[in-house]
Amino acid sequence: MRYIKTTHWTDHTNQQGLLYFAQILNECLFDYTLDTYKPQALNVRMLCIEALQTIDNIKIGLIKKPNIDPIIEELQWSLNSDFVAKAILGDRLNGIVDNINSNKSNIKKLKESIVLLYHFLDNKKYLNELQITLNKIVPIGKEKENIYKATRSYITELINYGYTTGYIYHRTNRFFFNYDEKFKDTSPKAFFDIFNFEKKKFTVVYKVSKVFKEFESVAESLNFKILDEFSVVNLTGDEKKFLETKNAGEIFIVFENVESLDDNVARLKTEIPLFKIGNLFSFYHHKETPSISQQALVINHTDKFALLRDEPIKSIIKKADIKPKIAAIKVKNLFSDLDLPPNTIYRISRAIDLHSISLTTEQVENKLLNIWTAIETLIPKDMECGDDRIVQIMKVLIPFQTLKYINKLIEQAGSDFWHFDNEKSKAILSSVVVKNRESSFHSLAALIMTTENENKRKEVDELLKIYPLLKFRLFFLNKGLSNGKEIKKLIENHRQKVEWQIQRIYRVRNLIVHSGKMPSYTNLLVENLHNYFDDFLNYIIDSAIKEKRIKTINEAILNAQIDCNTQTKNILSIGDNAITLDNYKSVL
């Protein structure tokens, strides 16, 4: 996350725990945060729901029985690592886990075991226990890892109970980082009170093209009004300007008495019928596409304020872009330097086309289907290996996710440090103990990883007193990258999570194709899948253009697997030995 100043916080010494909590929230909910630090798609309660839904789909023949196995694996892993769920279950934990294990082959009894587990967590019991726990441990501020885990799971609960990430992010910044008021709290209790699950009443106003006049006959059944004029008393600023700047070719569509938990949900609920009307109209009339304003005026009658809500950022573009000039150079190089066989170029071109379609489509299910098809287009089907298609795809994609995983974590930490204090970060990096003159990345890696820079890390630690999230992250990275054994554990943990997520994406893909249904967390899956595709294709293109090493996609896949195996051998050779200036580069 980019550091937000806290000059309005009154007592940093006694507010360290709450500041850490606030910074976790801000980072998790920011649209362009690194995948690793975003909210988990599913916590232990949501994994119970996924398992139960999957069992039901197996029973009606939508998916095959082996699809339940990775969900049970992840559920057990999540239970073992979730200290709040463990506290709720108490002595029953081992009995429930044993029951699930012994009934894996019996779908009926397995469902009964998971239903029992779920009933300990449902009806906000798990959410309430998370809040109680955080109210206890945040003010003390000592249990950093537990605060981090519980906060991320709390966000997942809010999202899956109906709040949007945009709304939670907005309220987080408004509560913790409002410079107009001194901030004295040491506990998150007042913040939790914001999310009381009481529905509010909204009016939502869009500006649309006049072609929507043709749908006046269906307006009442879809709960909206079509108006030539619309005004609100005491409206000011951009909200007032929105109503005043309607052009001659536009009219207003107004949804009244919309009930929802937050303003983003109100907008999302009301735009669905508009897009459906527009799509149906385009189906029958191809020459004209009905237009809908990207902004909507959302009037909150419960809390008595109005604001403009932009169209939500599409899940597929929630990642940092390269700068336009660099993008232009890459396109130029792609056309001039990509020396590959016609069949390989065709497959790359087709995958890029599918990627482009997924960027422009509104429906999240179509985004997922198009990117998945793009990946399948790139990955050759091996008829001789005997593996299922999903296994083949996992074997290909996982090396591209693990190979540079350490580098990504280090680069993100460096970016956060640089944005916190540009001058001091440069000064510290220039004084890091290294053997030879190094790049800024290798200096940063040496600072985080090597035993020779322990004193320098203490200097950084002192500097980050008002940035507890980055302070803990550097501690966590140093611990996780301190020796070969710890690095192996870190990468293996990431590899397992990616494998579970790819299998989940494949299940959802099949669910969409065969039933038209999709789970509430599909947006998060699209973000992950988009990153998998980009990492894979970028490796192919960079290897072909920069290093001239590959001529086919199969060669790129083999090359990544070899690089991954080499990295693994280097890590294993270090074993329990500490990371030093002599060996740290071998694992990057």
Q: Which residue matches tokens 């220039």?
A: 430
| The domain boundary residue, chosen from 283, 311, 339 | 311
Burial 486-510 (b: 16+ CB within 10 A, else e): bbbebbeebbebbbbbbbbbbbbbb
Burial 400-423 (b: 16+ CB within 10 A, else e): bbbbbbbeebbbbbbbbbbebeee
Radius of gyration of the chain (CA): 26
Q: Which residue matches tokens 């398992």?
A: 51
What Å distances lie between residue 541 and 44, 290, 446, 538, CA to CA? 39, 38, 29, 5
pLDDT number for residue 221: 85
Q: Which domain holds residue 184?
A: 16-38+126-194
pLDDT number for residue 338: 64
Q: How many domains does the chain have?
A: 4
Shared domain check, 350 and 424? yes
Residue 11 lies in a domain: no
Answer left, alpha or beta for residue 162, where phi above 0 means left and psi between -120 and 50 means alpha.
left
Nearest to 552 by CA among 404, 347, 403, 392: 347
Shared domain check, 146 and 109? no
Work out the burial of residue 159: count CB atoms within 10 Å of its CB; fewer than 13 is exposed, 13-18 middle, 19 or more buried: buried
Backbone angles phi, psi at 414, to 5 degrees: -65, -40
Residue 7 lies in a domain: no
Cα-Cα-Cα-Cα torsion 552, 553, 556, 558, nearest 10 degrees, comes to -100
Residue 216 lies in a domain: yes
For residue 342, the number of C-alpha atoms closer than 13 Å in the C-beta half-sphere is: 0
Instruction: Copy the structure tokens of residue 530.
Output: 């988009």
**348 close to 375: Cβ distance less than 8 angstroms:** no
Residue 8 lies in a domain: no
pLDDT number for residue 544: 73
Nearest to 570 by CA among 406, 371, 411, 373: 406
Shared domain check, 319 and 306? no
Nearest to 187 by CA among 23, 1, 30, 22: 22
pLDDT in tens, the chain (588 residues): 778 999 999 999 999 999 999 999 999 999 889 999 999 889 999 999 999 999 999 999 988 999 999 999 999 999 999 999 999 999 999 999 999 999 999 999 999 999 999 999 999 999 999 999 999 999 999 999 999 999 999 999 999 999 999 999 999 999 999 998 999 999 999 999 999 999 999 999 999 999 888 888 888 888 899 999 999 988 999 999 999 999 999 999 999 999 999 999 999 899 888 888 877 777 666 566 788 898 999 999 998 989 998 876 555 555 555 555 555 555 555 555 667 788 888 898 899 999 999 988 878 999 999 999 999 999 988 878 878 899 999 999 999 999 999 999 999 999 999 999 999 999 999 999 998 877 899 999 999 999 999 999 999 999 999 999 999 999 999 999 999 999 999 999 999 999 999 999 999 999 999 999 999 899 999 999 999 999 999 888 888 766 677 788 999 999 999 999 999 999 999 999 999 999 999 999
| The domain boundary residue, chosen from 122, 139, 156 | 122
Residue 451 lies in a domain: yes
Residue 24 lies in a domain: yes
pLDDT number for residue 53: 95
Rounded Cα distance between 549 and 546, Å, is 8
For residue 108, the number of C-alpha atoms closer than 13 Å in the C-beta half-sphere is: 0
Residue 10 lies in a domain: no
Nearest to 308 by CA among 367, 256, 237: 237
pLDDT number for residue 339: 72
| The domain boundary residue, chosen from 311, 331, 359 | 311
Residue type, 574: I
Shared domain check, 21 and 163? yes
Cβ-Cβ contacts under 8 Å for 540 (sequence gap 6 or more): 348, 378, 550, 553, 556
pLDDT number for residue 456: 96
Shared domain check, 473 and 570? yes
Report the CATH number at residue 266: 3.30.70
